[in-house]
């Protein structure tokens, strides 16, 4: 038996449309229209062979008093090909973020519901 990959990450959100706009505008993600009717609002995004699932359900976790630096909290990480562009978009959106404290080319931010994201510059292949 072997784990082959991560299929998806599920995030609890309070407003599906607001969260769709955040992920679309920041990361250029498009909604996967194949999401079945699940009895609650939500959306799926394809990220390579994996997915992000937005679930508009009651949130069992606190959304306030989270650490300012997302690396000190639950988060998920994605590789990007242009971290500078992501940083510019966050600034334009007036969304707070912090750079990785390890010195890596990475930053941490939160979506509108406080879910932590780590965005890591994908090294250029030589």
Phi-psi domain of 3 (left: phi exceeds 0; alpha: psi -120 through 50; beta: other): beta
If asked whether residues 75 and 115 sit together in one domain, one would say yes
Q: What is the number of H-type helices and E-type strands within the chain?
A: 2, 7
Q: Residue 21: which domain range?
A: 8-55
Q: Which two tokens stand for residue 102?
A: 């390890």
Summarised one tens digit per residue, pLDDT across range 58-105 is 998 877 888 888 888 889 999 999 999 999 999 999 999 999 988 899
35 domain-assigned: yes
If asked whether residues 75 and 49 sit together in one domain, one would say no
96 domain-assigned: yes
If asked whether residues 74 and 115 sit together in one domain, one would say yes
Q: Please, are residues 19 and 43 in contact by the beta-carbon 8 Å criterion?
A: yes
Summarised one tens digit per residue, pLDDT across range 21-65 is 999 999 999 999 999 999 999 999 999 999 999 999 999 887 788
CATH code for the domain of 87 = 3.10.180.10
Look at the chain and report how many structural domains it folds into. 2
């Amino acid at each position: 038996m072997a784990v082959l990959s991560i299929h998806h990450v599920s995030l609890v959100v309070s407003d599906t449309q607001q969260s769709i706009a955040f992920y679309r505008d920041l990361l250029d993600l498009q909604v996967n229209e194949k999401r079945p009717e699940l009895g609650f609002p939500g959306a799926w995004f394809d990220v390579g062979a994996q997915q992000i699932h937005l679930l508009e359900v009651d949130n069992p976790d606190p959304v306030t008093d989270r650490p300012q630096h997302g690396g000190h909290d639950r988060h998920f990480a994605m590789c990007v090909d242009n971290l500078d562009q992501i940083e510019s978009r966050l600034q334009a959106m007036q969304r707070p973020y912090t750079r990785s404290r390890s010195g890596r080319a990475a930053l941490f931010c939160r979506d509108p519901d406080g879910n932590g994201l780590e965005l890591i510059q994908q090294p250029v292949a030589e």
